[in-house]
Amino acid sequence: MTAQTILFIIIAAVVALTIVIFMYGYKTKYTGKFRWLFGSLRFISLLALFILLINPKLRTEEILTEKPKLILLADNSNSIASLEEEETLKNIVAQLSNNEDLQDKFELRDFKFGDAFAPLDSIDFSARQTNIAQAFSATNELFKDEVAPTILISDGNQTYGNDYEFSSRSFSNKIYPLVIGDSTQYVDLKIEQLNTNRYSFLKNEFPVEVILVYSGKDNINSRFSIQQGGSTLYSQNVSFSEGDNTQTLSFTIPSTKVGLQRYLAYLAPLEEEKNKSNNAKNFAVEVIDEATNILVVSDILHPDMGAIKKSIETNEQRRVSFMKPSEAAKVVNDYQLLILNQPDRSFSSVYTEIEKLKKNTLTLTGLQTDWRFLNTVQNNFEKLASNQSEDVSGKINLNYTAFSLEPVGFDEYSPLATDFGELTLSVPHDIILNQFVDGFSTGSPMLATWELNGKRDAIWDGEGIWKWRAQSFLETDSFETFDEFLGKLIQYLASNKRRSRLDVSFETFYYNNNPVVVSAQYFDKNFVFDNRAQLVIRVQNKETEELSEFPLLLKNNFYLVDLNSLPAGDYSFTVSVEGEAVARSGNFTILEFNVEQQFLNANVTKLSRVATHSGGELFFADQIEELISSLTENESFKPIQKTNQKVVPLIDWKYLLGLIVLTLSLEWFIRKYNGLI
């Protein structure tokens, strides 16, 4: 409370006393005892009222003792079950969580991880993937500014994600790995990795790369083969030793039949092997009899062209060719989609052929676009461009209805360059990217699509697309985010299929360790997306004829269902709309592959390095007491005392208001009781 506030309170007390003396000490009609009683009550009422008007602020201090956090990260992946260590891990978690010494010194926080990071409410070891790096990243984000030693209860085997040993080097707290599983090295021969294309073309050959790994000391021989049905399509003898324990085989398999082709990669096991499930792997390739041919027409060299080609051709079903306008006019009919890069007057013959053959187009515009020519050669859009350029960003429109869009932060990416001016479309269109300048919407689209008379077109107003593909890699360590976005656009534009009221998207085959997702869109009779519909999918196993039914849940402008609960097998399905005679059917296959069963023992070496880099210590499952002692006796994990200072305005103090009410009420009651009112 400041000196000025104290002075105001003293003045208020003097004023209140003066008023009371005037009321009850000067020509009053009350006797002595009532004079003092009423004067005292009135003084208290007036002083309390004046203090409320002054509204002084009171400061209170509260000293809090904050314990350091102790983080438990429990491995919830299927590899723990494969090693038959479920009860061991559960007992360790219970023993640590209920230990009184740890509870006295630390505030315990429990989490589980597998393919996702979540609070430890239950452990079922159902996760089909393990991402330890994600668990480290999430924990570091939650507790980076706190003292929070972390116990990692795991076998140390990771199936996807960034290298967790590298991630641990930026971890802000000490890590104490607690090893689950057998650390003994057994003789093992396994298929470490198999790489192949998802698609192949009929009468072509698709490449296969296999990495084989041997753990043991003796020299051994085995045989690797690729089988389909009862036939062996490829085989090779392989030899290993302690010093030469890895073999990489690269070969091709012919594509002789259209459709989904299943194969078995098999490495003959040794008699003494303990784990033989990692000696075989099922995989599949979809053989198609034609590709989507895309022609990029450009009269200039630009890095956008290379980025677009690489992005489109990540899908093996698509092939990209480049031509100058003078060459392209003669072969327009050989392609399903034409990408027109920064058109100028040299494109005149190309536009003539496009109009005659009704070809789908994607127009890319930028600083070298001849807008006078472009405004006159077509009637779909127009831009009154100036000689000035501007940098523009694009914000994704999740209400776009032609195909599904994931939320991608393109508005945070480097801006693209375009000519200054407003882009207007004169046809009914859907906007994929809205144009922004310095965070403010310009009202113009950056990327939009439209469909007229069965012909699909799009315009992307902005050059520098290669920067977006590069930035997606910098942020996610993969081009997948950008490539998937552009791939959906290309798939839509390269197709002339008429839109139906119910569109269903799915893959012909899935691996059961990855999401099995089917998506759908439903439109009303005016082809406006209907978010009130109830969609269901009925799935039937072709072998067992077991029928399952699942609802599709609304996400943005799509209905989605995850069918990961289905076992491996062949399935037929029907998506229908309740109350409407609209349905779509299809078939897909789920291939068996449990990557978590590929591990024979714990990765002690890697976990030991993680402990060393973070300043922690490695322990085994039978060293729980040693771990507890190490944590409780470590003087670097001390509680922190914090002072919490609060400033409370007196007007919020309800007791002072109650005092005013009480004194005034008491004065009135005494007056009434004695007949003075």
Q: With bands split at pLDDT 50, 70 and 90, how would you rate the model's confidence at 670? A: confident
Task: Note the pLDDT of residue 239.
Answer: 94
Please give the structure tokens belonging to residue 352. 């003539």
Residue that is written with structure tokens 């490449």 in the block: 207
Lowest mean pLDDT among 290-304, 461-475, 478-492, 494-508: 494-508
Task: Note the pLDDT of residue 353.
Answer: 92
Q: What's the average model confidence in pLDDT over 476-503?
A: 84
Q: With bands split at pLDDT 50, 70 and 90, how would you rate the model's confidence at 58? A: low
Q: With bands split at pLDDT 50, 70 and 90, how would you rate the model's confidence at 638? A: confident
Q: What's the average model confidence in pLDDT over 665-675?
A: 76
Task: Note the pLDDT of residue 596.
Answer: 66
Q: Which residues contact 181 (CB under 8 A, 6 or more apart)?
A: 80, 83, 85, 155, 601, 602
Task: Note the pLDDT of residue 144.
Answer: 83
Give the separation between CA 505 and CA 520, rounded to whole angstroms: 6
Task: Note the pLDDT of residue 550.
Answer: 94
CA distances, 431 to each of 116, 405, 506, 529, 611 (Å): 33, 12, 24, 15, 51
Q: With bands split at pLDDT 50, 70 and 90, how would you rate the model's confidence at 200? A: confident
pLDDT above 80: residue 643: no
Whats the size of the chain, residue-wise?
Answer: 677
Residue 110's nearest CA partner among 126, 124, 94 is 94
Neighbours of 524 (CB within 10 A): 12
Give the separation between CA 131 and CA 227, rounded to whole angstroms: 32
Q: With bands split at pLDDT 50, 70 and 90, how would you rate the model's confidence at 526? A: low
Task: Note the pLDDT of residue 11.
Answer: 84
Domains, the chain, ordered by start: 3-62+645-673 (no CATH), 68-184+601-638 (3.40.50.410), 188-288 (2.60.40.10), 292-493 (3.40.50.880), 502-595 (2.60.40.10)
Please give the structure tokens belonging to residue 394. 């694009």
Q: Which residues contact 143 (CB under 8 A, 6 or more apart)?
A: 69, 71, 109, 172, 173
Do 394 and 433 form a contact (C-beta atoms < 8 A)? yes
Strands 318-323 and 292-298: parallel
Question: 581-590: per-residue pLDDT in tens?
Answer: 889 999 999 8
Question: 336-371: per-residue pLDDT in tens?
Answer: 999 999 999 999 999 999 999 889 999 999 999 999
b/e burial code for range 341-375 (CB count within 10 A of at least 16 → b) = bbbbeebeebbebbeeeebbbbbbbbeebbbebbe
Task: Note the pLDDT of residue 377.
Answer: 93
Give the separation between CA 101 and CA 596, rounded to whole angstroms: 35
Task: Note the pLDDT of residue 676.
Answer: 65
Task: Note the pLDDT of residue 263.
Answer: 92
Lowest mean pLDDT among 148-152, 266-270, 363-367, 526-530: 526-530
Question: 532-557: per-residue pLDDT in tens?
Answer: 899 999 999 999 999 999 999 998 77
Task: Note the pLDDT of residue 651.
Answer: 61
611-613-616 Cα angle (round to 5): 35
Strands 440-452 and 416-419: unpaired
Mean pLDDT computed over every residue of the chain = 86
Lowest mean pLDDT among 234-243, 479-488, 552-561, 654-663: 654-663
Give the separation between CA 642 and CA 638, rounded to whole angstroms: 13
Global confidence as pTM: 0.56
Do 323 and 297 form a contact (C-beta atoms < 8 A)? yes
pLDDT above 90: residue 272: no
Q: With bands split at pLDDT 50, 70 and 90, how would you rate the model's confidence at 560? A: very high
pLDDT above 70: residue 669: yes
Q: What's the average model confidence in pLDDT over 262-278?
A: 87
Burial category of 636 from C-beta neighbours within 10 Å (exposed 0-12, middle 13-18, buried 19 and up): exposed
Q: What's the average model confidence in pLDDT over 584-600?
A: 79
Q: With bands split at pLDDT 50, 70 and 90, how would you rate the model's confidence at 653? A: low
% pLDDT > 90, the chain: 45
% pLDDT > 70, the chain: 94
Give the separation between CA 619 and CA 91, rounded to whole angstroms: 15
What sign results for the dihedral spanned by CA atoms 571, 575, 579, 582?
negative
pLDDT above 90: residue 523: no
What sign results for the dihedral spanned by CA atoms 631, 633, 638, 639?
positive
Q: With bands split at pLDDT 50, 70 and 90, how would you rate the model's confidence at 600? A: low
Q: With bands split at pLDDT 50, 70 and 90, how would you rate the model's confidence at 558? A: confident
Strands 280-288 and 292-298: unpaired
Q: How far is CA 216 from the centre of its chain?
A: 40
Question: 138-171: per-residue pLDDT in tens?
Answer: 999 999 888 899 999 998 888 888 889 988 888 9
Lowest mean pLDDT among 188-192, 410-414, 427-431, 667-671: 667-671
Q: What's the average model confidence in pLDDT over 558-568?
A: 89
Do 410 and 396 form a contact (C-beta atoms < 8 A)? yes
Lowest mean pLDDT among 142-156, 160-174, 296-310, 517-531: 517-531
Task: Note the pLDDT of residue 15.
Answer: 81
H or E stretch covering 502: strand 502-505
Q: Which residues contact 204 (CB under 8 A, 6 or more apart)?
A: 254, 255
Do 459 and 306 form a contact (C-beta atoms < 8 A)? no
Do 194 and 210 form a contact (C-beta atoms < 8 A)? yes
Please give the structure tokens belonging to residue 537. 């999918």
